[in-house]
Amino acid sequence: MNTIAELLRVVPKSELHSHLDGSMRLATLIELAGEQGVQLPSSEVEGLTREVFKSHYDNLSEYLLGFAYTCAVLEDFEAMERVAYEMAADAIQDGVRYLEVRFSPQRLVATSEDCVAAFKAVNAGLQKAASEFNLCAPVRSNADIPFEYGIICCAMRNFGPGMGRYFDDLLNLLSNTSKRDVIRIASMDAVRAALVARDRFGIPVVAFDLAGEEAGYRAGHHYAAYEEAHHNFMRKTVHAGEAYGPESIYEALTKCHAERIGHGTFMFATERIQSPEIIDKEAYVDAIANYVATRRITVEVCPTSNLQTIPELEGEMSLHPVRKMLEYGISVAICTDNTLISHTSLTRELLLTAEACQLNKTQLKRLVLAAFKGAFYPGSYTNKRKFIKRAADKIDEIFNS
């Protein structure tokens, strides 16, 4: 086994940034839409690929339009369970042995109680896939490592009418309340539902996240929810620096207690700094990058997704800042973001990165292992270390074979 591509196909991998509503099978979307009466632009795989799930988008806002269809078919608990199961099964087939699935339950259901039920449904699907895989002979005989998972609750940076029954009802109920306060209330509801699912029902909701359209919608409305997560020992990640500049990452780190950063693509983009108080822009981004590196704050890098949504990258991985992140010594976890919308797999994303950064086997091995180390593992720290050690031994075995 000599080539990087061959190694990446079989090596155990850890996926830290994957959205439930962006990673379903296209055939399942079509089937569920037919059963539920959801109108799609096309009922054929080729048509949807051409009209909705394209290879390139003009910006993040256009990329996000496809979620209107995927979320529409996920308003049913059985559908949530099925999609979670298939998502895990596909990841396992790709060699993923640790998977974190994130989604916004408020986009799918009507009440906070139903948000908890949504966590239960997604957990049931993931648990089914894990049980099926972990009962097979290779795991029992220690020839493979087990499949484990966590769930991440996403709050939405911004929302409006038509983004889900919960949001529609809340906007109607609080029609005389400022939009800032409505967003704050929704975000707090989300984290509290996640805590109920974790603490009362034992569901492995491992972290709180802030997702959705970033440009123009900074994290300020969500500080209270992040404080609630922080005070209850729930881990924190934030989509930041995907469509806004270094200041968004700074805000995530200093105001939201972020332990991981989702994307972080514009970490070094001095031209996107807006505050007139930041005089030395190069020093500012250097300080952020060094802080992230020193604190071992993992950046969840999603290469294909970034190439699809950020015009400045011109579709070229050579222009992606992941190489610079690695040069700073930042802990980078390569992720898929959305396997459906980005037509990708974790193996493919790692290969793209390896080729663009010209990584040797030692560097690539370190990159694969970083995603295990950065996991918001649902078990104890001792058990996480054992799991990482088992993964590391398997990775060494494969890379040295």
Output the CA torsion 124→79→84→211 (10° steps): -110
Domain assignment present for 259: yes
Quick one: 67 exposed, middle or buried, by C-beta within 10 A (0-12, 13-18, 19+)? buried
Which pLDDT score, from 0 to 100, does residue 270 have? 97
Instruction: Sort strands 298-301 and 235-240 into parallel, antiparallel or unpaired.
Output: unpaired
Q: Which structural domain, as residue segments, surrounds residue 46?
A: 4-394
Domain assignment present for 400: no
Domain assignment present for 288: yes
Which pLDDT score, from 0 to 100, does residue 141 have? 58
DSSP per-residue string spanning 41-71:
S-SSHHHHHHHTS-S--SSHHHHHTTHHHHH
Domain assignment present for 401: no
Helix H or strand E segment including 333: strand 332-334
Output DSSP code: residue 12. Answer: -
Q: How many residues does the chain have?
A: 401
Counted domains in the chain: 1
Asked whether the beta carbons of 261 and 222 are under 8 A apart, the reply is: no
The residues, any chain, with a CB within 8 Å of residue 36's CB and separated by 6 or more, are 72, 73, 75, 76, 79
Which pLDDT score, from 0 to 100, does residue 137 have? 57
Which pLDDT score, from 0 to 100, does residue 143 have? 66
Which pLDDT score, from 0 to 100, does residue 214 have? 80
Helix H or strand E segment including 262: strand 260-263
Which pLDDT score, from 0 to 100, does residue 61 have? 75
Percent of the chain predicted with pLDDT > 90: 83
Domain assignment present for 388: yes
Output DSSP code: residue 205. Answer: E
Domain assignment present for 59: yes
How far apart CA 401 and CA 390 sit, in angstroms, is: 17
Q: Which two tokens stand for residue 187?
A: 């975000």
Helix, strand, coil abundance in the chain, percent, nearest 5: 55, 10, 30
Q: What is the dihedral sign for C-alpha 53, 58, 60, 61? A: negative
The residues, any chain, with a CB within 8 Å of residue 46's CB and separated by 6 or more, are none
Which pLDDT score, from 0 to 100, does residue 140 have? 58
Q: Which two tokens stand for residue 370?
A: 């970083």
Domain assignment present for 399: no
**pTM for the model:** 0.96
Output the CA torsion 141→13→328→374 (10° steps): -80
How far apart CA 157 and CA 142 sit, in angstroms, is: 43
Which pLDDT score, from 0 to 100, does residue 139 have? 63
Task: Return per-residue pLDDT of the chain as tens, 401 residues.
Answer: 468 888 999 999 999 999 999 999 999 999 999 999 999 999 999 999 888 888 777 777 778 788 999 999 999 999 999 999 999 999 999 999 999 999 999 999 999 999 999 999 999 999 999 999 998 756 655 568 999 999 999 999 999 999 999 999 999 999 999 989 999 999 999 999 999 999 999 999 999 999 988 877 888 889 999 999 999 999 999 999 988 899 999 999 999 999 999 999 999 999 999 999 999 999 999 999 999 999 999 999 999 999 998 888 989 999 999 999 999 999 999 999 999 999 999 999 999 999 999 999 999 999 999 999 999 999 999 999 999 999 999 999 999 88
CATH number for the domain spanning 279: value is 3.20.20.140
Helix H or strand E segment including 387: helix 381-399
Name residue, tokens 């059985």: 78
Strand partners, 96: 13
Output DSSP code: residue 127. Answer: H
Q: Which two tokens stand for residue 282?
A: 């190069």
Which pLDDT score, from 0 to 100, does residue 50 have? 87
